[in-house]
Structure 1
Amino acid sequence: MIKEALQYIVGLGNLEVHYENGQSYSTQPLHLLKEPTTNPIEVRSLSGLVEYLTSEFDTESQLMVHVSSPTEVVAFSTLNLNKNRNEYIRATALLPSFSFDRFYDAEDFNIKLQSAFVKNEDRDIMLKVVGNIREENVKTVGDDGVSQAVQAKVGVATVATVQVPNPVILKPYRTFVEVDQPESDFIFRMQNGPRAALFEADGGAWKLQAMRNIKDYLNAALEQEIVEGKVIVIA
């Protein structure tokens, strides 16, 4: 087939082809003309991705939807002749800002807890502790190297030593808002100031759970397209 293709090209211009030791050589450089590929549409939600796929706006016999991370999903086609794919749409989660492993002052930490975390029991306990601190010093209590205590308001006019909860189970916004946010363990630490910080303590297991949640959401939202063989969802 290579010989036939080269012979056709020779007929179009001043190109000479030589055959030696079973291989083909040309007197001019040859460049591969690649098939064009698409630039993906960028959206910030799973619902936008689902709306695009169900609209069948761009006709394609079958698309694969890949949950590549807790914050990114991409839909692409099969390989073309050049072994490249057309990426049709990419969804990237829009998330509130929160830096783990960083100490915030009490006021900023209080605001972050309310704006970047789903309400649950441990979050509310932390809000009460951080929001009612009455002095700057943070004490270490016990002999386990973990427990801490602060002076906090515990009643209308009562101040007492309150133990800082640790570890805590929280649900920060770390994936698309359309799916359930994974719950995981965090180490809650405080410093004089007072300042507070959260440290992730689940080894990244939340990422796998988030990706499963996204896949479950897409399987339900694209059920008809999956049954018809138009869409395949992987994570």
Structure 2
Amino acid sequence: MIKEAFQYIVNLGTPDIHEVNGQQYATQPMHLLKEATPSPIQLRSLSGLIEYLKSDFDKDLFPQRMIHVVSPTEVVAFSSFNNDYKRNEYIEVNAMIPAFQFDRWYDAEDFNIKLQSTFVKNDDRDIMLKVVGNIKEENVKTVGDDGVSQAVSAKVGVATVATVQVPNPVLLKPYRTFVEVDQPESDFIFRMQNGPRCALFEADGGAWKLQAMQNVKKHLETALQTEIESGQVFVIA
């Protein structure tokens, strides 16, 4: 059976090529034998990418390297295209960042912890911590809301409770890109519900993503200045 199948394949021979109305057709299906490409190395930090490029490892195979900042959390290194017009993507870098879900309601304790662990310290973050950390739970239902601003009952002293204005909008710097670069600062809408529960909503239309990508690009350009000047490395975002 195997011998008969092999003989059948041999008898098929090379497909004939015919031209019809200016287009070429083959008498048999043909499949491209693709040139091999390397499996990309998976990294989690920009420093790992920089160390790899400075080591000149694989330089003989890839004398020129392009670095593409794909998104705030992804960077890819690749060479020029091969004979199949396919590029060799040999490095993929994906950022490890702490988890915080925007547009989701957290209870006050969880929100307080998230503010301290997933946001860079700045003035508005500290103000929010004071409000959230001193809310009088039994009085949270007395919330005055004009559609934009909110007010809650919170401790303002050792034994004093007063109506405190909830800051809104707030300018914050959550960890949203590689930790090696400066985190972009942007506006958020801070809202509260009975419970008490707190949530943050992005309010910059996604402009932070472009800023984060530029921050990553500048970081790489500074670290790889020698390689860039010699024409070995190019960085795009």
Query: Given the two structures, how large is their TM-score scaled by the length of structure 2?
Result: 0.88
Change (3 A) 1:34 1:158: same
The 2-side partners of 1:101 and 1:34 are apart by 46
Change (3 A) 1:25 1:175: closer
Q: Residue 15 of structure 1 corresponds to which residue in structure 2?
A: 14
The question of 1:82 aligning with 2:84 is answered: yes
What per-residue deviation string (whole Å, max 9, x for no partner) do you get for residues 139-177 of structure 1?
4436x4111111111112211111111110000000000
Q: Secondary structure at the match of 2:182?
A: coil
Q: Secondary structure at the match of 1:86?
A: strand
Q: Residue 181 of structure 1 corresponds to which residue in structure 2?
A: 183
Change (3 A) 1:126 1:224: same
RMSD, aligned α-carbons = 1.7
Unaligned 5+ segments in structure 1 are 1-12
Alignment of 1:12-161 (within 5 A): 14-15=13-14, 17=16, 19-20=18-19, 27-59=27-59, 60-136=62-138, 137-141=140-144, 144-161=146-163
Q: 1:17: how far off?
A: 3.5
The 1-side partners of 2:17 and 2:211 are apart by 59
Amino acid at match of 1:77: S
Change (3 A) 1:138 1:34: same
Q: 1:29: how far off?
A: 3.9
The 1-side partners of 2:65 and 2:100 are apart by 34
What per-residue deviation string (whole Å, max 9, x for no partner) do you get for residues 2-32 of structure 1?
xxxxxxxxxxx94364655576665554332
The 1-side partners of 2:13 and 2:166 are apart by 83
The 1-side partners of 2:170 and 2:25 are apart by 69
Larger CA deviation: 144-153 vs 110-119: 144-153
Change (3 A) 1:208 1:25: closer
The 1-side partners of 2:19 and 2:117 are apart by 72
What per-residue deviation string (whole Å, max 9, x for no partner) do you get for residues 43-63 of structure 1?
111101111111111121101
Q: 1:166 aligns with which of 159, 165, 168?
A: 168
The 1-side partners of 2:157 and 2:15 are apart by 95
* Count, aligned residues: 222
Q: 1:204: how far off?
A: 0.4
Aligned 8 A contact 1:17 1:24 in 2: no
Aligned 8 A contact 2:144 2:152 in 1: no
Q: Secondary structure at the match of 1:133?
A: coil
Query: Given the two structures, how large is their TM-score scaled by the length of structure 1?
Result: 0.89
Larger CA deviation: 225-234 vs 28-37: 28-37
Amino acid at match of 2:51: E
The 2-side partners of 1:161 and 1:27 are apart by 83
The 2-side partners of 1:139 and 1:99 are apart by 27
Unaligned 5+ segments in structure 2 are 1-11
The 1-side partners of 2:17 and 2:71 are apart by 51
The 1-side partners of 2:137 and 2:16 are apart by 87
Change (3 A) 1:62 1:140: same
Q: Residue 200 of structure 1 corresponds to which residue in structure 2?
A: 202
Q: Residue 218 of structure 1 corresponds to which residue in structure 2?
A: 220
The 2-side partners of 1:135 and 1:41 are apart by 50
